[in-house]
Homo-oligomer: A and B are copies of this chain.
Amino acid sequence: MGSFKGHALPGSFFLITGLWWAAKQTFLYATRRNKSAGAGRLASRATQRRIEIIEGAVILSFSIIGMLAEQLLAGGPKFQLYDSSTQHWEQLMNWQHTTMYLFFAIAGAISLTVHSTDIAPLALDRMLLGLAFFNEGFLFLYHLHGRDMLDVHVHTLLLYAIFGQAFICLLEVFHRGNILLELLRANLTILQGSWFWQIGFVLYPPSQVKWDQTDHDNSVFVTLCYCWHLAFALLTVAVVYWSVLCAVRSRLRRIPPMEMGLLKPRKKEVESEDEIL
């Protein structure tokens, strides 16, 4: 994975996931807030469950694809861990990435189970998502031995986003349905995604000019750059939030709310899973 593509790929995944989370959570928040105006019909509890199940399935399948790619593609260890002839471990970096994917696969599988059955409390999905992020950060933390100064620095900055996500998932276990935490998580996921791209550009620049890995000024610039990525992620989440909110409202304005209120005055179903907690 020591290549430009190897960083752009997970970066794109996280970018898409972050955008999706921002849109999904805003949508659910808007329907919760406008329930009296008939927004419940936009996202009934069954629809929500289906969304969560699909999300879990997508995360699970992409993680499995990632694990297989890391193992089987050119240069992968092909599920062999130890080479007895040379007495060396085989491709430990690929095994690390496989393990990162493994925990996201577990989180996806559990999310799938939690939302398709009623066997476990809902908050379990966030706890395992948090564990997956923590595990990712944990492996990155012990991943940096003996690299160049700038290389270590850009990966250290990445850890802020990753451990931030893990911490927010833990908070969500206790404060489920808090839109601020949900948007902050989406925000940090976008930050992680765009920063993966930035790492690719810094360590494996497409142009001829290489970055001086030991120049302190480069390290200062990279820190600054990280803050700008964060500002960009904030802007992105704000735009997504605003668009989804407007879309839900304009959709609601087109539905005559009175009629519904008259026809089904007693139908009182729980619209949102989060409110059950």
Tell me the minimal C-beta distance from A142 to chain B in angstroms: 5
Contacting residues, chain B, for A230 (C-beta < 8 A): 131, 135
Q: Contact partner of A221 among B92, B102, B231, CB < 8 A? A: B92
Contacting residues, chain B, for A99 (C-beta < 8 A): 224, 227-228, 231
Please, what's the 1-or-0 string for A151-187, where 1 marks a CB less than 8 Å from any CB in chain B?
Answer: 0000000001000000000000111000110001000
Q: Are A217 and B103 in contact (CB under 8 A)?
A: no
Q: Are B119 and A245 in contact (CB under 8 A)?
A: yes
Does A121 sit within 8 A of B, measured CB to CB? yes
Does A254 sit within 8 A of B, measured CB to CB? no
Given contact pairs A102-B231, A217-B89, A230-B135, A180 touches B95 in the complex (Cβ within 8 A): no
Does A234 sit within 8 A of B, measured CB to CB? yes
Does A220 sit within 8 A of B, measured CB to CB? yes
In the complex formed, the residue of B with least CB distance to A216 is B145
Does A197 sit within 8 A of B, measured CB to CB? no
Q: Are A224 and B120 in contact (CB under 8 A)?
A: no
Contacting residues, chain B, for A135 (C-beta < 8 A): 227, 230
Does A96 sit within 8 A of B, measured CB to CB? yes
Interface residues of A in 208-235 (CB under 8 A from B): 216-221, 223-224, 227-228, 230-231, 234
The CA-CA distance from A123 to B180 in the complex, in Å, is: 8
**A interface bracket (residues with beta carbon within 8 Å of B):** 35 or more
The CA-CA distance from A242 to B120 in the complex, in Å, is: 9
What's the number of copies of this chain in the assembled complex?
4
A contact face: mostly helix, strand, loop, or mixed: helix
Please, what's the 1-or-0 string for A127-152, where 1 marks a CB less than 8 Å from any CB in chain B?
Answer: 11001000100110010011000000
Tell me the minimal C-beta distance from A66 to chain B in angstroms: 15
Q: Are A89 and B221 in contact (CB under 8 A)?
A: yes
Does A124 sit within 8 A of B, measured CB to CB? yes
Complex A-B: 20 CB contacts under 8 Å: A89-B217, A89-B218, A92-B224, A95-B224, A99-B224, A102-B231, A103-B231, A106-B234, A119-B245, A120-B241, A121-B179, A128-B234, A131-B230, A135-B227, A135-B230, A142-B220, A142-B223, A145-B216, A145-B220, A174-B175
What would 19 more interface pairs be, CB under 8 Å, given A135-B227, A138-B223?
Answer: A89-B218, A92-B220, A92-B221, A99-B227, A99-B228, A99-B231, A103-B227, A119-B242, A121-B179, A127-B180, A127-B184, A131-B230, A131-B234, A138-B227, A139-B223, A139-B224, A142-B219, A173-B180, A174-B175
